[in-house]
Structure 1
Amino acid sequence: MSDESAETRARILELVHDYDKTKRQDVVFRPGITPIWPSGAVLDENDRAALVEAALEMRIAAGAYSRKFESAFARTLGLRKAHLTNSGSSANLLALSALMSPALEDSRLRPGDEVITVAAGFPTTVNPILQCGLTPVFVDVELGTYNTTVQRVADAIGPRTRAIMIAHALGNPFEVAEVAELAAERDMFFVEDNCDGVGSTYRGTQTGGFGDLSTVSFYPAHHITSGEGGCVLTDNLVLARQVESLRDWGRDCWCEPGETDTCRKRFSYKLGDLPYGYDHKYIFSHVGYNLKTTDLQAALALSQLGKLHDFSAARRRNWRQLRAGLDGAKALLLPEPTPDSDPSWFGFALTVREEAPFTRQDMVNFLEERQIGTRLLFAGNLTRQPAYLGREFRVSGELTNCDVITERTFWIGVYPGITEEMTAYMVSSVQEFLARWDG
């Protein structure tokens, strides 16, 4: 870059920071008027500048920023490999598809094999099981933590069960160390869906490092964002290679875009029924996809990554304020962290008790009218959703608590954009609602 270009670039980025200041006016919170969203991205001038800087370099595909983020994020979670994708949903699809790779030989998953998962959650933890021709085995959860238990998972294992794929509920870790140990004992794969749990710990270890593979989402609702985006992480280099191939059209070559002959034998391969010397850049070892992200998204994610610690602290602070303020609310079941965990909370779940004199809808309507955003605990009992009617699955035990979640559970926000003043207003609003029904 010439001195003139570098100077121009510096001026542009300085103007971006100035522009951000003109756009970022102090917002005065007005109770009942200012919306309190349950989730959302928290972006600053550095994020805006990161996007513009990547745009100035015309980073229109995955490249240097993507590789830099993958390396930094893998280090953050203490893992060897991270592969960016275009969404957390794609990350889940890639993780499970990698376990079906022919490269795993006899240990790979095959159509018809069973995968244990939770019935109450977000569909994209379950969808890849069906999309890969596998069979979901649904287990129930505990109310309060909204996670399943290792005992429920163990009880669900059958002759065809080959894998476990579970998400941390609203950032609250499930018994992930015990599930990982169970999977190892039974020679099963374990995919840890960490999309809602980045920054959480279980027994002092960060979530995302317990599974054979783990997944993350960078959608704006999540702990850090790239707009759209996701990631697959692993310590297993063989699995990492399958993820990369499946993400990148299924090709056998591992050259980055714009690179050539990294392996030093581009025209020396003999694979499949292809002629000797067929260009390795166009040899495909998987029926894959194109699920890559762009450097623009990676640049934003890289900027956000530096704020992860502060974001997690804010989520914990807001959750604690809600929990303390609502303690003793007899008509509500309040959330609890899983023992031995320190969640980086995604949301604050509330379950209306069966004996309460009001319904969930009564409470949701009241809060929404006061501009307090609410969300249900995602899909509730997935087996009752229209998308899964007629699909092949197995249920282990009863799904009693998943049905309770479907009928009586919702959550409110704790994301870093919510201030202590907003949280206090949420507490007082819930208290006011409960007082209307007291006695």
Structure 2
Amino acid sequence: MQAQDLKQNILKMVKQYYELVHQRGNSEFVPGKSRINYAGRIFNEKEMINLTDSCLDFWLTYGKYSAEFEKKLAQFLGVKHCILVNSGSSANLLAFMTLCSPLLNKRMIKRGDEVITIAAAFPTTVAPIIQYGAVPVFVDVDLETANIDVSQLKIALSSKTKAVMLAHTLGNPFNLEAVKRFCMHNNLWLIEDNCDALGSVYAGKYTGTWGDLGTSSFYPPHHITMGEGGAVYTNNPLLRKIALSLRDWGRDCWCESGKDNSCGKRFSQQHGSLPFGYDHKYVYSHFGYNLKATDLQAAIGCAQLDKLPEFIQKRKENFKILYDGLKDMRKYLILPAAVDNSDPCWFGFLLTLRDNIAANRNEIVKYLESQHIQTRNLFGGNIVKQPCFSMLKENEDYRIVGQLANTDKIMNNSFWIGVYPGMCTEALDYMIKKIKDFFEYTKC
């Protein structure tokens, strides 16, 4: 038997294994007994076949699937350049690092420069700013969207401001028109943390593509997954060049993995104070990292990308079911609202308890968890109150605009539940019922 025939037989058996173990293993939802997770992986035999195919090739680092994934994601988003990395957190790190490159001259972000962001955030939206010695400037959010209150942008602006770095909270786009206009008027960089919003649209254009750089995460709860993984995307060729260098150890060479001397000048150039003709593969123009994903991960990602339109539609449908089922509870709860001119691909369904009710967030969360409904707080709440900020000095290491009153309300009163594509209508109806039961039983 030839190797290719043997491979095809193996891949056929992988499909059979999926059908036997995973497809048949899907159990029916039983109210009060089945666990309703806020998120989960959705896959079929195609992911397993791709993964096995990659394993059999045994090309472990960046390879054919990585290149295919970058191309397909760029095409989906309508951007010129996509760079695959090993996580969404690495994507945020790489995006911010890119703007700290000396190749950007006067627009390079340096130590002490300020970056406007929000405190109601996931830590790794903020961490790169601090790790690179810049100063995050925190502004408040709107309660219905948990996104930036754009009226505070001008107040946050200073002579040191170099960039704005924001996430689209739980898939709900922030006011991109206002933020983009502010950045352009003040010559600021814009990084969109799009990790929770892949497939969301603002004014007819995908989120993550409005700014100078966008990022995605492919951790299992996200819109698509490859286990671990992330991406940075841009339309700017210089930013792409810098990001690739930083992802790949900081090297100056742009040859793809496994290829040498693509430029034909590997041993015939002058670089810095190195000897003339020093091997270009070992010339470093940045202090970089190794942030590449494996080709095995990308193989899964390629199959997931084909499912993305279906996933997007299902998330929207699930969100609508929850919203329609809970809209008569607005005297108790602030429900999520889409930003004007947007079409969110929701990551979760945010609920905020109103001030005038007797119950608190922990009580309803404990009740829902006891009913097998998984809940999540909105990430770090107010990030400046987290232990990691205890050694930082306000007005030196970070700056706060105003009181962050809504941020604190979210920290104290908000939680979210899932809308991921694996949820059935029965599970969604059960969540609606249990939320209503809580307020009925507690007589709020």
Fold shared by both chains (TM-score > 0.5): yes
Task: Say if 2:111 and 2:132, in contact at 8 Å, map to a contact too.
Answer: yes
User: Alignment identity in percent?
Assistant: 46
1:41 Cα offset (Å): 1.4
Q: Runs of 4 or more off by more than 3 Å in structure 1?
A: none
Tell me what 2:346 maps to.
345
Question: C-alpha deviations, 1:96-135, integer Å up to 9, x for none?
Answer: 1111111111221111100000110100000000011100
1:154 positional shift: 2.5
Matches within 5 A, 1:33-112: 33-112=33-112
The CA distance in 2 between the partners of 1:275 and 1:321, in whole Å, is 66
Give the Cα separation in 2 of the matches to 1:82 and 1:177.
23
User: SS in structure 2 opposite 1:256?
Assistant: coil
User: Please, which of 434, 441, 444 is the counterpart of residue 436 of structure 1?
Assistant: 441
Give the CA deviation at 1:185: 1.0
- 1:415 aligns to 2:415 (yes or no): no
Q: Which residue of 2 aligns with 1:123?
A: 123
Partner residue in 2 for 1:387: 388
| CA distance in 2: counterparts of 1:370 and 1:201, whole angstroms | 34
Opposite residue 6 of structure 1, the aligned amino acid is Q
In the alignment, which residue of structure 2 is the partner of 1:321? 321
8 Å contact from structure 2 (residues 336, 351) kept in 1: yes
Aligned positions of 1:269-308 closer than 5 A = 269-308=269-308
Shift of 1:438: 3.0
Cα distance in structure 2, aligned partners of 1:200 and 1:336: 14
Q: Which runs of 5+ in 1 are unaligned?
A: none
Alignment of 1:375 with 2:376, yes or no, is: yes
**1:206: how far off?**
0.8
1:7 aligns with 2:5: yes
Secondary structure in 2 aligned to 1:376? coil
Q: How far 1:181 moved relative to its partner?
A: 1.8
Structure 2 counterpart of 1:16 = 14
CA distance in 1, matches of 2:154, 2:92: 22
The CA distance in 2 between the partners of 1:59 and 1:324, in whole Å, is 48
The answer on whether the counterparts of 2:107 and 2:162 sit within 8 Å (CA) in structure 1 is: no
| Inter-partner Cα distance in structure 2 for 1:37 and 1:155 | 40
Is 1:160 matched with 2:165? Answer: no
Question: Which residue of structure 2 lines up, in the alignment, with residue 186 of structure 1?
Answer: 186
Alignment correspondent of 1:148: 148
Amino acid at match of 1:22: L
Q: What are the within-5 Å matches in structure 2 for residues 166-177 of structure 1?
A: 166-177=166-177
Asked if the contact 2:120/2:380 (under 8 Å) is kept, the reply is yes
- Tell me the alpha carbon deviations over residues 226-279 of structure 1, each in whole angstroms, 9 at most, x when there is no partner: 110000000000000000000000000011121010111001111111010000
Letter in 1 for 2:171: G
1:29-83 Cα deviation digits (max 9, x unpaired): 1111111101121121111111111111112111111111101111110100000
How far apart in 2 are the matches of 1:438 and 1:336? Answer: 26
Structure 1 vs Structure 2 CA RMSD: 1.0
Give the Cα separation in 2 of the matches to 1:435 and 1:207: 39
Partner of 2:406: 401
Q: Once the 2 structures are TM-superposed, how far is the Cα of residue 150 of structure 1 from its aligned partner?
A: 2.5
Secondary structure of the 1:373 match is coil
> TM-score, length-normalised on structure 2?
0.97
Unaligned stretches of 5+ in structure 2? none
| Paired positions, count | 437
Residue 184 of structure 1: how far off its partner (Å)? 1.1
Q: 1:274-309: CA deviations, max 9, x gaps?
A: 010000000000000000001000010110000111
Q: CA deviation at 1:434?
A: 1.3
Tell me, what secondary structure is at the counterpart of 2:250?
coil
Shift of 1:178: 2.1
Which one is further off, 3-12 or 253-262?
Answer: 3-12
Q: Write the letter of the residue equivalent to 1:354.
A: D
